[in-house]
Structure formats: C-alpha cells, structure tokens
C-alpha cells in the first residue's frame, strides 16, 4: 500500500522516491490562494504556478505577455495556501533566454519573493547553461520539453511535437542533457506516447506528462481545463472531471433571479 498520503511535505527528493517505487506523481496548476488551498488539502503532490496564467487568468492568446512581477504575484498567493504540496513556479518568457546571469537573477527573485520551492523553464540544450547556473545556486529546476508554449511563434501551431525522427532524437538528447545539468524533473508536453515512455525509462529523474501518454512518471493538467471552467477547450489529452462553467453559470443565474424577485435576502438572511 502506498504511504504517500502520510508524507507531511512533498520535496524534490520525495518525487525521486515516488518514481523509484513506481508511484505516479500528481500535478496541477494554480494561480491563487483559494484554489491552491483546496488542491493542497486534496493531496496533490505538485502545484505549478504556470505561465498559463497569461491565458486563463489574464485572457491573453499566448503565455508570452506575462511578466516576472505578475508571476511573482500569483506565486505569492499560491504559496500562502500550501502546506504539503511542492510549489513550482514558471519562469516567464524573457527572464532566462538571454544569458545565464539574467536567468539566475530571475530565479533568485522568484525564490526570495514568493517562498516557492522550485522553478521551471522551457527548452533543451539552449538553456543548459542557465539551468546549471541556477542549480549551482541551490535552486531546484524542473525542465520542459516537447511542445514549449513560450515558443509558439516559432512553431506556429500547438500540434504534437517530435513526430519526426530528427526532432524525436533531439528531444532524447535534450532530456539527458537536462538531467545531467541537474533538473529534478522534466515536463513532457504533447509528444507521442511511445517516445515519452522511452524517454521516461531512460531517465533517473521523474517525467511529468501532459498529452504524452500514461508511461510518464506523473501527469499535469491546467486547473481550468480539468475542472471545466472553459468548455471551449477540449484537446484529446484532456479528461474533464467537472463542468464548473455550467455549475457556476447556473448558480449565478439563480442568484440574479433571487435578487430581482426579492427572494434574496430573506428574513432569515437579514439582521
């Protein structure tokens, strides 16, 4: 029987142990105190303060516009709601691509100002120097390969990555490079399941999949997608566990009706 529920605090070391024991890792995004508190209490292993906040919280088309200050604000809110989960904070576009010194300065700001436990950045060989510098400063780093949303203007589409052998081989090499650079885990996004399985088995560090099949060491979903807050987004990889869009809309409509009719507040709801 799994003892993971008895773990008082999830750490990067615990994630390694879960992989070694063959236990899957659960991960979800959160952007504020209230949802982070709920997810933590439910027993989620990892909470990602994703740069997807640019999409689902701010309404941008891509993750590119969100700033470091905005990510720090969201991460501060999440950390206040967490007792057990490991909190990973995305480094937004432009905070690590130019050089490793800028990357380290950005990572230090995130760690000092948010109380988060680790950072995540996208890319392979091109960001290895930044990863090494950040890890050498004592900051845990999660990598991200496959579909990397910050590079959407380069790809031009959100389609499955690494279907061709040349790109698949680069991903295999990059995964090994990220592990050697000191990453404690790697997100594999929207790549063929067989490739994700091969990569996962070839690494000692955990892989977290999103649209990458069931053989990754864990899975991550964006909370708004998983909870059905945006029913217009229905990719093949998504399992929707709730239809919050319908529930919330229905509740607000009932509230409006009760206010308009004078049914709310009642005598029992008045002082």
Annotation says 167 is catalytic: no
H, E, C per residue of 33-46: HHHHHHHHHHCCCE
Q: What is the DSSP pairing of strand 46-49 with strand 86-90?
A: parallel
Q: What are 248's strand-pairing partners?
A: none
The rounded distance, in Å, linking the Cα atoms of 131 and 259 is 55
- DSSP string for 190-258: S--HHHHHHHHHT-SS-EEEESS-TTSSEEEE-HHHHTTS-TT---TT------HHHHHHHHHHHHHHH
* Distance, CA of 196 to CA of 33 (rounded, Å): 33
Nearest to 125 by CA among 171, 183, 185, 64: 171
CA distance 229 to 191: 25
Catalytic residue among 23, 189, 246, 269: 189
- Let me know how long the chain is: 271
One DSSP character per residue, 101-117 reads HHHHHHHHHHHHHH--S
Catalytic residues: 189
């Amino acid at each position: 029987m799994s003892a993971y529920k008895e773990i008082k605090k999830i750490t990067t070391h615990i994630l390694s142990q879960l992989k070694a024991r063959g236990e899957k890792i659960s991960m979800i995004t959160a952007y504020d105190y209230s949802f982070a508190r709920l997810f933590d209490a439910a027993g989620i292993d990892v909470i990602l303060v994703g740069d997807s906040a640019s999409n689902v919280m701010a309404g941008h088309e891509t993750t590119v516009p969100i700033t470091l200050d905005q990510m720090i604000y969201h991460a501060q809110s999440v950390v206040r709601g967490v007792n057990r989960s490991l909190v990973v904070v995305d480094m937004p576009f432009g905070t690590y691509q130019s050089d490793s010194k800028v990357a380290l300065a950005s990572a230090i700001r995130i760690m000092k100002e948010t109380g988060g436990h680790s950072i995540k950045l996208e890319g392979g060989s091109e960001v290895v120097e930044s990863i090494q510098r950040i890890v050498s400063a004592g900051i845990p780093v999660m990598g991200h390969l496959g579909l990397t949303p910050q590079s959407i203007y380069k790809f031009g589409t959100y389609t499955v990555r690494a279907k061709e052998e040349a790109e698949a081989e680069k991903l295999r090499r990059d995964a090994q490079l990220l592990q050697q650079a000191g990453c404690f885990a790697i997100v594999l996004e929207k790549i063929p399941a067989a490739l994700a399985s091969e990569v996962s088995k070839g690494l000692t560090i955990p892989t977290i999949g999103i649209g990458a099949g069931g053989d990754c060491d864990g899975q991550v979903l964006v909370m708004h997608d998983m909870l059905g807050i945006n029913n217009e987004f229905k990719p093949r990889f998504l399992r929707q566990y709730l239809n919050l869009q319908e529930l919330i809309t229905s509740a607000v409509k009932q509230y409006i009706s009760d206010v308009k009719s004078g049914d709310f507040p009642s005598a029992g709801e008045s002082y």
